[in-house]
Amino acid sequence: MNDEPLLRVKCFLLDMDGTFNLGDGLIEGSLRFIATLNELGKDYLFLTNNSSKHRRMYAEKITRLGLPTSEDKVFTAGEATAIYLQERHPSTSVYVVGTPALEEEFRQYGFRLEENDPQLIVLGFDTTLTYQKLWKLCDFVRAGLPYIATHPDLNCPTETGYMPDVGAMIAFVHASTGREPDLVVGKPNRMIIDALAHKYGLAIEEMAMVGDRLYTDIALGKTSGITTCLVWSGETRPEDLVDSPFQPTYTFANLGAIADWLKVHSS
């Protein structure tokens, strides 16, 4: 019997930026990978740390890129944060530093958004960020309010390079206040894997995370024991692996190369 852990995987968890697409362009082999999973009777979900968009917006984007997708195929760090806080702090007033889409996500989960006297604060990937928002955020953090970040990514890959992400904003807040977030919800926090395992009835060994970033996607292997596949189509370069504490189970050029591997080893 073949003991390759990748062959036991029933559901592939796919990062988006740098793995499936770069901005508004598909990465080579992405659709072929999905077609191969369909042929082999395997499932997939898009798992992104990017909390700047609602899962519906991601589903619409993936559909535009050529893969018809419903929003139940997408799970974001923004939604994971809202779910986490709903379970532990329902009906709490929240100051959300995020896009209108992230604010909508929190309203859908029953939170009241509060600008002046919140009970806790959430920092997301805010592409509508202003100095006034940062100033107010730092005031609340300095005052000791519970401080949650949706994910730790320093940069978000684009077609033309990188744009600053939540991790850079966390560093700004730390420089001003001396505080780090009390909790960072997204990858590599294993709570995302636990939530997915519960929601879809999957065992840890039946899932694999596929992504381009060592300290989020691949770090899930260390925090949760999940099989991981690193693709070279985004942020990480081979030399980055040398001293990294986060080592993937497998490495591939891109999603198309995983499709080729699965076809060979599943026959």
Pair 177, 234 in one domain: no
> Per the domain annotation, does 130 fall within a domain?
yes
> How confident is the model over 186-197, as a mean pLDDT?
86
User: In this structure, are 101 and 156 located in the same domain?
Assistant: yes
223 and 239 co-located in one domain: yes
Give me the pLDDT at residue 91, please: 86
Q: Judge if 162 and 104 occupy the same domain.
A: yes
**Block residue for tokens 């519906």:** 56
Mean pLDDT of 107-120: 95
The pLDDT score that the predictor gives to residue 36 is: 97
Q: What average pLDDT does the segment 15-40 reach?
A: 95
For residue 197, the model assigns a pLDDT of 83
Segment 40-65 shows an average pLDDT of 94
Q: What is the mean pLDDT of residues 7-23?
A: 94
Mean pLDDT calculated for residue range 156-160: 84
The H or E element that residue 185 is part of is none
Residue 83 belongs to a domain: no
- Hey, what are 22's tokens? 């770069």
* Window from 6-10, 85-89, 257-261 with minimum mean pLDDT: 85-89
Q: Where are the beta strands (DSSP E) in the chain?
A: 11-14, 21-22, 25-26, 43-48, 74-76, 93-97, 112-113, 120-123, 147-149, 155-158, 161-164, 183-184, 207-211, 227-231, 250-252
Which among 184, 205, 221 is the end of a domain? Answer: 184
Considering the domain boundaries, does residue 55 fall inside one?
no
Give the domain-ending residue among 151, 184, 217.
184
Mean of pLDDT over the chain = 94
171 and 99 belong to one structural domain: yes
State mean pLDDT over 163-178. Answer: 97
Do both 38 and 12 map to the same domain? yes
Q: For position 211, what pLDDT does the model report?
A: 96
The predicted pLDDT at position 6 comes to 95
Using an 8 Å Cβ cutoff, are 71 and 55 in contact?
Answer: yes
- Do 104 and 37 have their domain in common? no
**57 lies in a domain?**
no
What distance in Å separates the CA atoms of residue 132 and residue 203, rounded to the nearest whole number?
Answer: 45
pLDDT band for 2, please (50, 70, 90 cuts). Answer: low
- Give CA angle at 255 (252, 259), nearest 5°: 90
% of the chain residues with pLDDT over 70: 99
The span from the CA of 226 to the CA of 249, in Å, is 9
The answer as to whether 13 is a domain residue is yes
CATH number at residue 151: 3.40.50.1000
Are residues 163 and 104 part of one domain? yes
pLDDT tens, position by position, 90-100: 889 999 999 99
d(CA 252, CA 125): 28
- Report whether 187 contacts 219 (CB < 8 A): yes
68 assigned to some structural domain: no
pTM of this structure: 0.88
Domain with 208, as residue range(s), is 5-49+187-266
Taking 3-state DSSP, the helix, strand and coil percentages for the chain, each rounded to the nearest 5, stand at 40, 20, 35
Domain end residue (candidates: 166, 184, 202): 184
What pLDDT is stored for residue 138 in this prediction? 98
pLDDT at 196: 80
Single-letter code of the amino acid located at 94: V
Q: Are residues 109 and 168 in the same domain?
A: yes
pLDDT surpasses 90 at 158: no
Residues 165 and 95 in one domain: yes
Q: How far is CA 198 from CA 89, 210, 234, in A?
A: 20, 19, 29
In a domain, 84, yes or no: no
Asked if residue 171 and residue 120 are part of one domain, the reply reads yes
Q: Tell which residue, 126, 166, 122, has the closest CA to residue 148.
A: 122
pLDDT score for 1: 44
Number of domains in the chain: 2
In-domain check, residue 82: no
Residues 6 or more apart in contact with residue 87 via CB below 8 angstroms: none
Same domain membership, residue 240 and residue 168: no
Is the confidence at residue 120, as pLDDT, over 90?
A: yes
* Angle, vertex CA 63, rays to CA 204 and CA 249, nearest 5: 30
**What was the pLDDT predicted at 202?**
87
